[in-house]
Amino acid sequence: MRRPFTTQKPEDNTSPVESLSEKDLDLGSYAEKNLGGFSILCTGFNICNSWAGLAATLAVGIAQGGTVTLLYGQILIFILIGLGSTATLAELTSVYPTAGGQYHWTSILAPKSTNRALSYFCGAANIFGWLSICTGVVIQPGQFISAIVVFFNPDFEPQAWHIFLIYQAVNILILLYNIYLMKRTSWIHDVGFVVSLSLFIVITITCAARAPGHNSSTFVWTNFVNDSGWKSDGVVFLTGLANPNFMYAGIDGAIHLAEECSNAITTVPLALVSTSLIGFVTAFAFSISMVYSLVDLDAIINTPTGVPIYEIWYQATRSSTAATVFLAGLLAVSLFALNGCVQTASRLTWSYARDNALLGSSYIGQLHPRHNVPVWALVANSAVIFIIGCIYLGSDTAFHGFVGTGLLLQQISFAVPAALLLYHRRSTKYLAKKRRVRLGFLGWIANALTVGFAVITLVFYCFPTEVPATGSSMNYTVAVIGCMALFSTLNWVVHARRVYQGPRLPEGM
């Protein structure tokens, strides 16, 4: 069973966590601290890759609410997540830098009578959210390769099993890389960061400069589309926020690598804030360039390649070679992102197993003595991703229903500790006065925005994008989350209820 943090009760009137240090947060990890400040920033950015994440959903975002939802939605998401949620996470990380992140904070902040159950289910939501994000990235290389083949050979009809095989090959290769090479090549995240920013600059400038014409500012900034069947434009806008929301998918990535990062109480919060700011600037600039440069929206949405951004680049550059090079670059960026996602998700699963939350925790919660990575956590996550990939063979709609839950579950995991901070009135019992990130009054706003946006996502991200809903347009988020909740509850009843124990501050503090 986990012992509480070892901080001694202070004898004066200072905060009970005032003397809490990284040493006091000894969780039995013994992970090698091989990530510096720049590397943790690069890793966090690679995971989100905000401009690249939007590239995959750009045309869909324009179709679901028009450019108004896409562009103004990004500004709203930046306020809600880029400022609100990120500030909340940064402040908590500056006090409690652990791989468990949100569910560890929930365990510390929740009342003793509910902390075990509440933190357990917060952790389950966070893990399922990360598995959803990983799955959404693993599928991209297969889709991009298939798109290139179709682009140059229009008679080719890609089958689900073609993409499935590439999906599983990528899944296995990234698993092997993370087991055998990641610790030796941590600089790979730095390379990914440079490649991503370089590609962003080249694509953004080239498309704007080479486009045969540019759309009017009226179209770009005031065009709202409601062909969904919903009578309320507000519903269309709020359901359409899922597309700009993708620029912050995995924003908590740096948190779960805290135990492998030197001086985590400073570098991880800085990485979170930097990822948020760089992500918004790149995503917003990229989107503006693409929207001004696109020519035929119907051709983009109905492209036979199945990758609308490919058609946007072809229309803008008027060059099949340039468009294909850009897509190949996006494929490389997706592999860098996937590498970071898999690494981060494994550390979260490892931490969860360390707290005896999973069946097989004695294996999953261990670091390999030679490779110094959580091999069984990596294997367990890869196995789940493998199984989810099999769903793609039967129904790509059901598969994307699983992928779509990632954003919702991510925000729920942010909201639980934020709500508990509000419950405790942001007491210095839990937030040291001399913490590295001190939000003051703005902390109330950041916490409230985090909780409020979770409520919005919980409602509107479960709505179908079109009404009346059909089998292909139905939103299966509720069904998928129901299955996840059932699995988590069964694991709680059978195993975790007896042995799971998250971290707590010592009694009397």
What pLDDT shows up at residue 3? 44
Q: Which domains are delineated in the chain? A: 37-499 (1.20.1740.10)
Q: Beta partners for 35?
A: 261
What pLDDT shows up at residue 10? 44
pLDDT, averaged in runs of 10, over the chain (509 residues) = 44 51 53 83 96 88 88 97 97 95 97 95 98 97 97 94 97 97 90 98 97 94 88 91 94 95 93 98 98 92 93 96 98 98 98 96 93 95 97 88 93 98 94 89 97 96 85 84 96 96 76
CA distances from 191 to 45, 98, 244, 267, 482 (A): 12, 26, 26, 19, 39
pTM of the full structure? 0.93
CA distances from 354 to 102, 103, 284, 328, 506 (A): 15, 13, 40, 39, 19
Where residue 217 falls (left for φ over 0; alpha for ψ -120 to 50; beta otherwise) is alpha
∠ CA 284-290-295, rounded to 5°: 155
Residue type, 20: L
As a whole number of angstroms, the distance between CA 16 and CA 356 comes to 27
Half-sphere exposure of 199 (CA within 13 A, CB side): 27
In residues, how long is the chain? 509
What pLDDT shows up at residue 442? 95
What pLDDT shows up at residue 209? 96
Radius of gyration of the chain (CA): 22
